Amino acid sequence: MIQAVDTSVEFAGIPLRNPVLTASGTFGYGTEFAPFLDLRRIGGFVGKSLTLEPRFGNPPPRIAETPSGMLNAISIENIGVDAFLNEALPALPDGVVVIASCFGTDPEDYARLAQRLSDSPRVAGVEINASCPHVKSGGIEFGQDPKLLGELVGRVRERVSGPLIVKLSPNVTRIAPMAEACQEAGADGVTLINTIQSMEVDVETRRPVLSNVLGGLSGPAIRPIALRMVWQASRAVDLPICGVGGITSAEDAIKFLLCGATAVQVGTTNYINPMAAGEIADGILQYAERHGVSRVTDLIGALEVNSPSAS
């Protein structure tokens, strides 16, 4: 007889029925995926990053395929916080865990926006996008400087009493100081990684394939980098970590849990398979049953390494 598995986790003070979320920018505002996936089947979803006012992104071309990945330079195009709170949120069924993502060009923008979002009873937590690699102002500056990042998180923390999560940039030399800055400033959790700043060139036209020249690389190509950074961050801070980057299967998700992540976010693969997050949640349960794991939380940080000093 197969023992029942407890798939629930708590991430940054947010109870989740299982550790699978969807990543900001890859799942719209939730309703777009309703024909394919019951959002109550997964832990929850992180909405597309919001700004105080509606925002238009970069002109096309702003998405391009790469080997084992995708480049994007959409630049935080979104409907704005008012439309999200008044139209998008009410359209979601009850019981869906919503984490709202916010983006600003200065700490006060972030703080005002995060406060408005956290005041909504439908928003379980706020993830601040401090690391967008293809926006000309704001994110990348905060995401690459631990002092600025700490000041940003501290300013938002003053205005937000609920769960506060910080999405970190991989475009740094060392991830540990960035996670430490978030912990010291009062964050409840960190998400890593965001996309990796990259570019691609069309040799026939001798031009970049993206109108913005630079974009963010996502997809399976970045998974080993994401795993490495989750592992390093988990050894540097006590904060719960949400791992993201190239997850396409339950096996990929479990790798992140073993490296120290409490939860995971499914991103680019949503474009290929809109049912992926649900399938990954089911696959984690099946893995636990197959290996005699009674609680998914037992997998968190359970990676076995040859040397305890490995880093």
pLDDT 10s digits, 278-290: 999 999 999 999 9
Mean pLDDT of 32-58: 95
Looking at 102, 132, 182, 242, which residue is catalytic?
132
HSE value, Cβ hemisphere, 13 Å, CA-based, for 230: 33
Question: What gap in Å lies between CA 84 and CA 292, rounded to an integer?
Answer: 42
Q: What is the mean pLDDT of residues 256-268?
A: 98
- The pLDDT, as a whole number, for residue 282 is 98
CATH of region 9-59+75-197+218-299: 3.20.20.70
Residue with tokens 């006060």: 108
The CA distance from 31 to 22, in Å, is 13
Which pLDDT belongs to residue 131? 78
- Please tell me the distance from the alpha carbon of residue 96 to that of residue 93, in angstroms, as a whole number: 6
Task: Give dist(CA 282, CA 68) in Å, integer.
Answer: 24
Give Cα 204 distance to the centre of its chain. 35
- Whether 182 is catalytic is no
Q: What's the rounded Cα separation, in Å, for the pair 266 and 253?
A: 8
DSSP per position, 22-34: E-TTSSTTSGGGT
> Is 60 exceeded by the pLDDT of residue 148?
yes
Residues in the chain: 311
What are residue 186's phi and psi, to 5 degrees? Answer: 105, 15
Query: 3-state DSSP: the chain helix, strand, coil percent, rounded to 5?
Result: 35, 20, 45
Residues 6+ apart with CB under 8 A from 94: none
CA distance 13 to 9: 10
Q: Share the mean pLDDT of the chain.
A: 94
The whole-model pTM stands at 0.95
DSSP-based three-state secondary structure for 96: coil
Q: Please, which residues have CB within 8 angstroms of residue 203's CB and are 6 or more apart in sequence?
A: none
Q: Is 178 helix (H, G, I), strand (E, B) or coil?
A: helix
Q: What percent of the chain has pLDDT over 70?
A: 94
**How does pLDDT run across 117-135, given as a tens digit for each residue?**
999 999 999 999 987 654 5
Cα dist from 255 to 129, 205, 262, whole Å: 24, 40, 11
In angstroms, the CA 292 to CA 275 distance is 26
Q: Which of 222, 265, 228 is nearest to 243 (CA)?
A: 265
**Dihedral of the alpha carbons of 221, 225, 228, 229, in degrees to the nearest 10:** -130
Confidence of residue 306 (pLDDT cuts 50, 70, 90): confident
Tens of pLDDT, residues 69-111 = 999 999 899 999 999 999 999 999 999 999 999 999 889 999 9
Burial class (CB in 10 A: 0-12, 13-18, 19+), 222: buried
Residue 143: pLDDT band (50, 70, 90) is: confident
Mean pLDDT over 300-309 rounds to 85
- Write down the domain spans for the chain: 9-59+75-197+218-299
- Would you state the structure tokens that stand for residue 206, as one six-digit string? 């001798």
